[in-house]
Amino acid sequence: MADLEGSVVAKDYGIGRAQKTPGFHIKGAGQLDYGMRHRLSRIFREDGKTVMLAFDHGYFQGPTSGLERVDLSIVPLAPYADALMATRGIIRSVVPASNNNALVLRASGGPSILKDLSNERLAMDIEDAVRIDAAAVAVQVFIGGEHETQSIQNLTTMVDEGLRVGIPVLGVTAVGKELVRDSRYLGLSTRIIAELGAQLVKTYFCEEGFEEVTAGCPVPIIMAGGKKLPVTDALTMAHKAMDQGAAGVDMGRNIFQRQSPEAMIRAVNAVVHAGAPPAEAEKIYRDLSGGAQD
Ligand code: R5P
């Protein structure tokens, strides 16, 4: 069995040498079956990047600020998102079936904010993801959490089911209050998730060593948004993540809790798809919002 030292001293990430993906534009996906590639192509544009809008928060915390009425706050933003990350309940009840966004369905859940969040189980069947026409399903993984093994089993079960029907799995790194979001922890979590079969991974940004996190993960990493930050900080974080190898962002509160969510998602698009520097993206936000101050 490998010893822990190999992980402690890992350092040759080949920074600057992109991983080759023969025959396809999405990292690590060149050898997947047609259906998987077709679905991933709905999430990631031809530039291999994605703006995913996350509004699945209600599955464990109820009517979150900004999501009280998803029909009013989120549906108008859909044209600016490549992919929507949500629960099947909200998709079926609120999101128009005529929308052409890629749908990333939350597939794990169980505990509310009143309980231990790591005690999740799978919360939907892969057949339902097929019925809904999901481009991917999302499973939370709690590395270092109380129910780590159970959450890993949720992931691997869904990976097996996804491979059966051609639906990719987004493994989501969940960071508990007691765990530090540094590159060592995020590198550990994202690599485990990819090794166990997820075709894409969502994780937080870290100021030090994020480039090593993305380099050490053989599938696309999508940066998680987190709690609302000042607009300059949120756009800077997105820009740094993209610059350091992320394949996109999956942002929720930093978009829908803004004074102008539409201006923000358009600014985020400029960062992700046009490589806009933070100052330019912030100007887009200020101009389109008519001078919002948040
Ligand atoms: C966490 O990964 C969950 O899926 C969240 O409900 C959501 O995606 C978080 O989005 P944000 O932190 O950007 O508000």
The pLDDT, as a whole number, for residue 40 is 98
Does residue 81 sit within a domain?
Answer: yes
Alpha-carbon distance 84 to 42, whole Å? Answer: 11
Best mutation site among 57, 200, 221 for ligand 1 pocket (most ligand atoms within 8 Å of CB): 57
Q: Give the residue from 88, 140, 103, 89 showing the smallest Cα distance to 119.
A: 140
In the set 27, 49, 202, 240, the catalytic residue is 202
Alpha-carbon distance 168 to 202, whole Å? Answer: 13
The pLDDT, as a whole number, for residue 108 is 96
Alpha-carbon distance 52 to 220, whole Å? Answer: 13
- Tell me how far the alpha carbon of residue 2 lies from the centroid of ligand 1, in angstroms: 33
The pLDDT, as a whole number, for residue 248 is 98
Average pLDDT over residues 28-40: 97
**pLDDT digit string, tens, across residues 8-28:** 557 789 998 999 888 899 999
What is the CA angle 248-253-256, rounded to 5? 95
Q: pTM of the full predicted structure?
A: 0.95
Average pLDDT over residues 245-274: 98
- Mean pLDDT score across all residues of the chain: 95
Residue 276 has pLDDT above 70, yes or no: yes
Beta bridge partners of 251: 53
Which residues approach ligand 1 with their CB closer than 6 A? 54, 56-57, 85, 172, 224-226, 251-254
Of 256 and 179, more confident: 256
Does residue 2 sit within a domain?
Answer: no
Q: What is the band of 5 on the pLDDT scale with cuts at 50, 70, 90?
A: low
The pLDDT, as a whole number, for residue 85 is 98
At 139, list the tokens.
């499973």
3-state secondary structure 174-229: CCCCCCCCCHHHHHHHHHHHHHCCCCEEEECCCCCCHHHHHHCCCCCEEEECCCCC
Does residue 168 sit within a domain?
Answer: yes
Beta bridge partners of 140: 172
The pLDDT, as a whole number, for residue 125 is 97
The pLDDT, as a whole number, for residue 2 is 60
The pLDDT, as a whole number, for residue 179 is 75
The pLDDT, as a whole number, for residue 50 is 98
The pLDDT, as a whole number, for residue 266 is 98
Ligand 1 nearest atom to the CA of residue 57, by list position: 6
The pLDDT, as a whole number, for residue 6 is 61
Alpha-carbon distance 41 to 188, whole Å? Answer: 27
Domain at 138, CATH number: 3.20.20.70
Does residue 108 sit within a domain?
Answer: yes
**pLDDT digit string, tens, across residues 147-165:** 999 999 999 999 999 999 9
Q: What is the band of 243 on the pLDDT scale with cuts at 50, 70, 90?
A: very high
Does residue 9 sit within a domain?
Answer: no
Does residue 266 sit within a domain?
Answer: no
For residue 202, indicate whether it is catalytic: yes
Ligand 1 nearest atom to the CA of residue 225, by list position: 13
Element (H, E) at 109: strand 108-109
Ligand 1 nearest atom to the CA of residue 224, by list position: 13
The count of C-alpha atoms lying within 13 angstroms of the C-alpha of 253, restricted to the half-sphere facing its C-beta, is 12
**pLDDT digit string, tens, across residues 131-140:** 999 999 999 9
Does residue 151 sit within a domain?
Answer: yes
The total domain count for the chain is 1
One-character DSSP codes across 125-161: -HHHHHHHT-SEEEEEE-TTSTTHHHHHHHHHHHHHH
- Which of 181-185, 193-197, 257-261 is least confident? 181-185
The pLDDT, as a whole number, for residue 21 is 83
Q: Which domain holds residue 149?
A: 32-258
Does residue 148 sit within a domain?
Answer: yes
